[in-house]
Structure 1
């Protein structure tokens, strides 16, 4: 078993593994799966992504065959997100997923990025259970539009976070300073309605205000200063 960085000529293998994994784990139609896989893991697109330092794609091989890969990105000064962890269904009885997850954590820690968030569609029960086995807990849920159908996407983070209470119009909210996402003008921090509660929205560090309005693509824009968070991977522009 070998874990290594992906290279552009891994494109056919990544597309094949992603397609098999999505078909086995998600109730998505063939058109949606094929369009997303072709867009994100086409050789030219893959080469562009690998040229950016924020991107991280790790593959795991067995006897020279790619049997799984992890797709992640640094989204804040101290935070990265694991978007996808795909393992060919024929190899899921092994520890390939575990090795990939550990590899992602180690790579970002080496880069000085200690906090990892995980995203998974709520319809994939095994995905959420995987994160929980690794000491993470669900901290939020966001709607995401996939080819015209809205799904719930769960966000997972380390069970122990560093929060700070802030008063907004007489209500108390809790800002998690260990979980941030990059905006166009500054960082967004996850916000909870209760100290140990569910995800409520985001705190705009640029103008220090609460932003909790989100569209179905996962875009957030701060009404105070216009700071915006990019859409999720399932933006229609990618399909």
Structure 2
């Protein structure tokens, strides 16, 4: 079994694996599955993903036949989200998912990505167990739209501590996302952002749901991410930190 980056010629096999995997794992009708495949993995979309350095598509190639693939998106300098991991239902139970997961992680580490998150639809019991078995814990939820219907996604993060990650703020300053210091939001956690790597001066919050800075706070201390609507309600008065 070879685990490698996807190529343009893998498009038909990727669409076939995704179609069969969605049909086996979720209570989606044929039309919903077809619409999802056309939206996510048509030729133009695949070409865009394959040319995007922040998009990582990895396949499991068994003697020239693609039997599984993963799709990941690098969000910040050392953080990525594993969006999908599909295995052909006929090949499940062979350990392919585990091997593909580790190969994907290895490819992301070569890009200096050390903080991995995962998303899986809430109704996929096996997928949720997969993350739990690997030391991930649920940190939030989101919704994904498939053929006009909204489905709940669970968001997972590894339980290890990661420290502070440098990112560029809108004012061109370098600020630091503390991956070990977070507070609950309505969709996913907010990470505290500091002005210095070792200091205590808070700059704002980082929304882990859409990977953007959330700086606006109202008079009652409530933070809302302008990008995705994730809301943090304070457990104490802390407007002075902003």
User: If the length of structure 1 is used for normalisation, what is the TM-score?
Assistant: 0.74
* Deviations 1:54-97, CA, capped at 9 Å, x for gaps: 11001101121110000111011110000000000000011111
Q: Aligned pair in 2 of structure 1 residues 20, 200: CA closer, same or farther (>3 Å)?
A: closer
2:130 aligned residue: 130
- The equivalences for 1:152-171 within 5 A come to 152-162=152-162
Pair member with larger Rg? 2
- The equivalences for 1:61-100 within 5 A come to 61-100=61-100
Larger RCO, structure (CA 8 Å, separation 6 or more): 1
Q: CA RMSD in A?
A: 3.6
Confirm whether residue 208 of structure 1 aligns to residue 196 of structure 2.
no
| 3-state SS, counterpart of residue 13 of structure 2 | helix
Contact residue 56 and residue 72 of structure 1 kept, 8 A: yes
For 1:33 and 1:90, the matched residues in 2 are separated by 18
Confirm whether residue 224 of structure 1 aligns to residue 231 of structure 2.
no
For 1:153 and 1:130, the matched residues in 2 are separated by 14
* Deviations 1:117-158, CA, capped at 9 Å, x for gaps: 000011001001111222212122223343343322111111
2:118 aligned residue: 118
Q: Aligned pair in 2 of structure 1 residues 184, 90: CA closer, same or farther (>3 Å)?
A: farther
| 3-state SS, counterpart of residue 59 of structure 2 | strand
Task: Tell me how far 1:192 sits from its aligned partner.
Answer: 2.5
Q: Aligned pair in 2 of structure 1 residues 30, 98: CA closer, same or farther (>3 Å)?
A: same
Contact residue 4 and residue 60 of structure 1 kept, 8 A: yes
User: If the length of structure 2 is used for normalisation, what is the TM-score?
Assistant: 0.73
**More moved, 150-159 vs 185-194:** 185-194
Q: Aligned pair in 2 of structure 1 residues 161, 211: CA closer, same or farther (>3 Å)?
A: closer
Task: Tell me how far 1:181 sits from its aligned partner.
Answer: 10
Which segments of 5 or more consecutive residues in structure 2 lack a partner in the other structure?
Answer: 196-201, 218-223, 230-242
Contact residue 76 and residue 182 of structure 1 kept, 8 A: no
2:183 aligned residue (175, 178, 192): 192
Contact residue 121 and residue 154 of structure 2 kept, 8 A: yes
Task: Tell me how far 1:208 sits from its aligned partner.
Answer: 3.3
Contact residue 54 and residue 74 of structure 2 kept, 8 A: yes
